[in-house]
Each structure stands twice: as C-alpha cells, then as structure tokens.
Structure 1
Amino acid sequence: SHFLGQNFAKASGIQFQNREGKQEFGWTTSWGMTTRMVGTVVMMHGDDDGLVLPPRIAPTQIVILPITPREDTRAKVLEACDALALQLRGKRFADAPIEVEVDRRDLGGGIKNWEWIKKGVPLRVEIGPRDLEKNSVTVSRRDQPVKDKESMRMDEFTARAPEILVSIQDLLYARAKEFRDANTHVINSKKDFYDFFTAKNPSKPEIHAGFALAHWNGSREVEEQIKNDLKVTIRVIPLDGSSEPGQCIFTGEPSVRRVVWAKSY
C-alpha cells in the first residue's frame, strides 16, 4: 500500500468535515486492489481446467447450452432454452436477478461446454431433444469435477437454482478457508520462525505457501531485518483478531497482538 497524503484529495477536491466541524482535505491511500484481487480469485479457486468463479462475482452465473444435433428439433430446443432463461432471470441470488446467458452459437456442444468450463461459470445447463422429451435439464456445477452431471426436472431446477448458487458460493468459501487455516501456523520463537521460512534446498528454493502468526513489537527495523534475511514481510495485521499480549519473538519486547508473516511472489 502507499500513503498518498492530501495530494490527490486537493487535486480532486475531496473534503470531509473534521471533529471541529471544519472542512479538511482527505488523507488517501492506494492499495492496488484490482489486479491483486483478480489474481487471488484465479489462484485460490481455479483448477487445471481454468477459472472457477464464486457466483457472487461471476458476470454470468448460469449458462444454458442448447444441444441441437438435428435441424428439425433445433427450434423447439432454442425455444425451451429461452423460456428457461426467462424464468431463471425472474429468480434472485445475492439480492439481484440471476445472470443467465443462452449460448446460441452454431458450435459443437463439446466445444461450447469447454469454453464455459474455462470461463468458470458456476452452472452449466444443457438442453437437448432427449431432455425435452423428459421435461428435464442436465446440470453441471463448476465446483465439482467437470464430468459430473445431474439430470433434474426443469421445474425443479428453476425452483432450486438460487439455492444451488448459494451452495457453490458456500463450498468455495469453505474450501478457501480450510486451505488458509491448514497453511497458517502459530510460531512462538525466533528459531522456529527462521526454520519455517528457510528453504530446505537453498540452491533451488521451493515456493513457500505458509503463513506465520507471530508476535511483533511494531519495530520497522525488525521488519526490515526479517525482510533482508528471509524475504518475508508482514502481510496483514488481523482486524478481527482479539488482542493477545505477548512478547515479540525477535526482541523479547512487549507485543499487543500477533501479525501474519509470509513470503510474496
């Protein structure tokens, strides 16, 4: 992050009323959140088949794929796809209408399916002549193996679509939290800290995916020393963590809470 002072606030006329009731130019910071957040989503949730987007941030939450092997059934299939899309758009997820797209492109079903897999769309829905005969749809969730499919009655899927999107959102969050927690370690000594972040093979250091929760006395000099020694920096001071008085593992001085240390790449 970068502290920008009042320079941009003065240039843009950004003011606020301070405690004395006077207008004052804002003090601004820059965190570079956009590209970092995109990268985090890709790396945290993606797999070998492409993106996996949480439904809350997916621009398309459900894609409907018409399966039209014969020209004589094409019109009926497309009509059913459009009707389903209209019903789904009338449903709400995360306080907004569900975002639905019908892929009407004249491409093979396999090609279209893999394109949407790579784009990470949460739900793929196939409708073909056989589905119409049974008044059903074939549903695939992006948070499950790509070959997993489930046949559902069309009316059942329409009713349950918001619930399924919630399920995907919750599962992706749970997976990410489990991964983070499994790779976060409480460290109580300088030796253990250095051992944790020291490469096992210095000539070919491995990518270190761990987080260390350790006490720190707030000294910039200590932080700079750790950065020089191990290329490790403080990644975040948890806002939701309760104060846990202790001793800085580097100096033995008092510390009011643990901070998160890690390597960045």
Structure 2
Amino acid sequence: MSQKYATRAEDYSKWYNDLISRADLAEHSEVKGMMVIKPYGFAIWENMRDILDAKFKETGHQNAYFPLFIPKSYFSKEASHVDGFAKECAVVTHYRLKNDPDGKGVVVDPDAKLEEELIVRPTSETIIWNSYKNWIQSYRDLPILINQWANVVRWEMRTRLFLRTSEFLWQEGHTAHATKEEAIGETEQMLDVYADFAEQYMAMPVIRGHKTESERFAGADDTYCIEAMMQDGKALQAGTSHFLGQNFAKAFDVKFTDAQGKQDFVWATSWGVSTRLMGALIMTHSDDEGLVLPPALAPIQVVIVPIYRSEEELQQITEAVNRISGELKSLGIKVKYDSDDQKRPGWKFAEYEAKGVPVRMAIGPRDLANGVVEIARRDTKEKYAMNLENIGSSIKDLLDEIQQNLLVKAQTFRKENMHTVDTYEDFKTRLEKDGGFYLAHWDGTKETEAKIKQETQATIRCIPIDIASEPGVCMVTGAPSKGRVVFAKAY
C-alpha cells in the first residue's frame, strides 16, 4: 500500500514536511532542533551557493573564515546587538570531558572550566570587527569587502526543516568603508544582488524594502530586506542587508585616518542569506506531486529513462542516449541517464517527479525508429514528442521556457494575493479569510505596529522601495501616514 501524503490544500505544514521527505532533501537529526541535509538537498544548496559566490566576487568581495567561538566579552561591547541575540546563544563553559568515576560513560570535567565562556556564533559581527581593528589604520586600508560561508547556531524552541533550525548554513558579508554614503551604497547593492538571484535563478518574485525600527537587525541603523510570498499566502524573509552605521566601529574602537590626516570611525555593513532559501524554493513552486525546481538550480535538469523489453533494445537506446547526452552536456545541461534495471519506468517517473527534475525524457525503440523522444515537463505536466534533430537547442530553449514560466506563475500568484486596504476592519476580515499581502497605511509608531501584531498575528514585512505609494492616514489610528507598508503573516 502506497504512503498517503498530505496535499497543500488539506494540511500545508504536513505537505511541506512530506515533500522534503519524498524528495530526499533533509531529515531531523538526533540532536533536537538540528537537521541533516541529504545529498540531493545539499546539491541544490551548492548550486545556490556557487551562483551567489560568483556574484559576490563579481562585486569585489573576497571570502575569508573567522572562528566558530566568540568570547562572551565581545558581545558586551554592543548593547543592542547582545540584547537581540542573548536568548538564542549556545554557550561553551568547559573544554574537557573525563570518564565517570561510577563507570557511567563520560562527564564534564569540573576542573576544565574556561576562564571566559565562549559563545557559538549566532552571527559574526563582534569577532570580525575585533579583527578589523587590527587591519584598519588608514583610508588606504578601505574598503574591506569580505564574505564568509559558515554555519551558525541560534537556539530555537520551535523548529522546521530549512525554515527555522538551531543550526543552519549561510553566508555573511561584512564590509568596512570610509564614508556613510559608500556603506549605504554597499547595503543597497547587496540587496539588489539578492533580489536578482531570487527572481532570475529561484524564479521567486520579491518585494524590496526597509524593515521597521522594531524589526531591524540588532545593532543596525537600517535593515533592507527582500520578502517573498509563499503558496499559503504567508511571507518569508528571504534575505537581509544591514547598514550598521558606526555602531560596531565605536564598540571595537575601529578608526581610520583619512587623506587629510583626520581620524574617524569606520562605516559598516553586513548582509546574509541562509538555507532558509531552500524552504522558500520548496514553497514557491512545488505541488502535490512533489518538488518543482527551476532549471537554473536543479542538480539534474534532464533525466532520461529507457523503455525496453530486451538487452538488445537497451543497447540500442543506450547508444542513442550517449549521443543525446553528449549534445546536451556540450551546452552545459545537467543530464542523468537512469538505466537501473531494478526499478520500473513508472517508479522512476514518480521518483523524478517528486524530486522536481524539470524535464523527463523517455526513449523506446519505437521512438528511435520515428526519430523522436517523449518529453514530460515538470512545471506544466505536459507530455509530447520532440524531434531528435537539433535536440540540444530544443532542450535548452525548453529549460529557458520552464524557468520563465515558473517566475511568471509566481508573479501572477502574488499579484492575485496582493490586496490594498484602507480600513482596519477590512484588513482583519480579509486577512483571516484570504491571507496574502496587504498594502495599508500605518502611522509609523511602534505602539500601532505592536497592536496590529497582537490582534492579527500579522507584521509589517517591509516599507517597500519598489512599490509606489502616496501619503494617507493610518488604517488603525487615522494619524498621518507617509505611505503604505506591506503587512502579512509570516514564517
């Protein structure tokens, strides 16, 4: 009896978890709140990582690596930063184990207590700026444009694979600049890099904007973000870029001498995306049959399945597949030929559908005789015959079409679920009934923001940069509003 999987409509949360299992992306580990990313899931993350890494290097950044452990005293130097992360920190207090005298395994050696506790990094601003103090003396040492690929730990009570785990993988950029204008320019540039990646590679439309003061990164003067809409209408913060002002430079006394011999504190940014992008990718495109991957990120873009009854037919098909694969690979297309004779074609079709492979190609002796192959598109589930002549360019065009189709489909879904509201009653009624994003006026106060969150569980996702808005009055208080902001329930 086949396993019953949840559908998006009946149980979105279970559908998400089932899909991760079916596609063999990840699983919960024995360490509570932490996950094991399996090879297929990690291959998708590697594609994301490699594309982003190239983009970072194109914009002048270099990779480096900083310690996993951060002395506790470093966190005390930037008050708002430590306040923002204090409840999520894992703390190392001892450096040695010993055998239990009672013979019950091992215990922490009480004589091996650290003089100063170490924090497992929740983010690396503090330890990086402690290093920058030694690297920066003059304006000639600036800018410093560094990125780190690493893991971080933020102790979570309620976890969900990829979206919120106690340990996750990410990249964190940390840059130092001579002027405020240059640092803000860097912050905006990296937001654009993230937005371009989300839309052009993930086929996931995003709204660019600023976070409210209440939602800013701890220690930042301003936080920019990209917000994406998932298929249940909830928002997912897909990336952030922070203008840190001179806060960390002042905390760690990082000064430079300018061309006129005057000393000043350095200006800073930080920016990052994480394996949360995997959750975003899953929830933006996938369906009840499994994962749907945009070709730009798919580890396998085309899978070829032979249909045969004899070894002679298999040999004939394999010879043809070798020619087809060579043509596709010469165009940079990632191809897999699955000739495993232990599994039936129908099983393979379902397997690759669950894994989200964009194009499936089935080939039998009759197809070869007719000079065609059967093509199945994962995005639309269409099946049709494709001529073997010029198949390389035909498949390349098809992959481009699938990539674009997924973006347009996601854009259409967002447009249909983006609502403009003017009254608080209308907002509450429609939010409860329809979900989605809401463009509404807000008076700019923390009190009104908190009231809306408490009463509706919706938050201000961002103050949008790329959505035109006129002044108005707050939907709650009637006080003046500079423009509409984006409200939604969120992950």
TM (normalized to structure 1)?
0.83
Q: Are residues 122 and 243 of structure 1, via their aligned partners in 2, closer, same or farther at CA, if it must alter by over 3 Å?
A: same
What aligned pairs does 1:1-265 form with structure 2 within 5 A after superposition?
Answer: 6-10=125-129, 13=132, 14-19=174-179, 21=258, 24=266, 26-28=268-270, 33-35=274-276, 37-91=277-331, 97-106=332-341, 107-145=343-381, 148-198=382-432, 209-264=435-490
* Aligned partner letter, 1:244: E
Supply the distance in 1 between the matched residues of 2:483 and 2:124 (Cα, whole angstroms). 27
- 221 and 73 in structure 1: CA distance in 2 versus 1, 3 angstrom threshold: same
Q: Deviations over 1:214-249 (max 9, x none)?
A: 011222221111111111111233221124222222
| Deviation of the 1:135 alpha carbon | 1.9
Residue 227 (structure 2) aligns with: none
Distance 2:386 2:431 in 1: 50
Q: Give the direction of change, closer, same or farther, for the CA distance of 1:219–1:103 in structure 2 (3 Å limit).
A: same
Give the C-alpha shift of residue 52 in structure 1. Answer: 0.8
Measured at CA, do residues 122 and 132 of structure 1 come closer, stay the same or move farther in structure 2, by a change above 3 Å?
Answer: same
Q: CA separation in 2, counterparts of 1:33 and 1:55?
A: 20
Question: 8 Å contact 2:304–2:336 — kept in the other structure?
Answer: yes
Q: Is the 8 A contact 2:176 2:269 kept in 1?
A: no
Cα gap change, 1:6 to 1:198, in 2 (>3 Å): same
Calculate the aligned-residue CA RMSD, in Å.
2.4
Contact 2:442 2:474 in 1 (8 A): yes
- Whether the 8 Å contact between 2:379 and 2:402 is mirrored in structure 1 is yes
User: Within 1, Cα distance between the matches of 2:404 and 2:352?
Assistant: 21
AA of the residue aligned to 1:67: I
What amino acid is the match of 1:7?
A: T
Further displaced range: 71-80 or 235-244: 235-244
Q: Which amino acid aligns with 1:102?
A: Y
Does structure 1 conserve the Cα–Cα contact (< 8 Å) formed by 2:472 and 2:483? yes
Cα distance between partner residues in 1 of 2:289 and 2:379: 11
Q: Which runs of 5+ in 1 are unaligned?
A: 92-96, 200-207
Name the CA distance, whole Å, in 1 between partners of 2:432 and 2:285. Answer: 27
Letter in 2 for 1:197: L
Provide closer, same or farther for how the CA distance between residues 218 and 117 of structure 1 changes in structure 2, counting only shifts above 3 A: same
SS in 2 for 1:155: coil
Deviation at 1:149, TM superposition (A): 1.7
Distance 1:15 1:110 in 2: 52
Distance 1:48 1:246 in 2: 42
Report how many residues are paired: 247
Task: Classify the secondary structure of the residue corresponding to 1:139.
Answer: strand
Do the aligned partners of residues 82 and 12 (structure 1) sit closer, same or farther apart at CA in structure 2, a change above 3 Å counting? farther
Change (3 A) 1:5 1:38: closer
**TM-score (normalizing by structure 2):** 0.47
Given that 2:282 and 2:291 are in contact with CA atoms closer than 8 Å, whether structure 1 keeps it comes out as yes
Secondary structure of the residue aligned to 2:391 is helix
Structure 1 stretches of at least 4 aligned residues deviating more than 4 Å after TM superposition: 2-5, 11-15, 20-23
- Asked if structure 2 preserves the Cα contact closer than 8 Å seen for 1:186 and 1:214, the reply is yes
Query: Separation in 2 of the partners of 1:198 and 1:144?
Result: 31
Deviates more, 1:110-119 or 1:20-29: 20-29
**Residue type at the aligned position of 1:26:** A
Matched to 1:24, the amino acid is V
Cα distance between partner residues in 1 of 2:335 and 2:292: 17
Identity %, equivalent residues: 37
Question: Which stretch shifts more, 63-72 or 4-13?
Answer: 4-13
Q: What amino acid is aligned across from residue 337 of structure 2 in structure 1? A: V
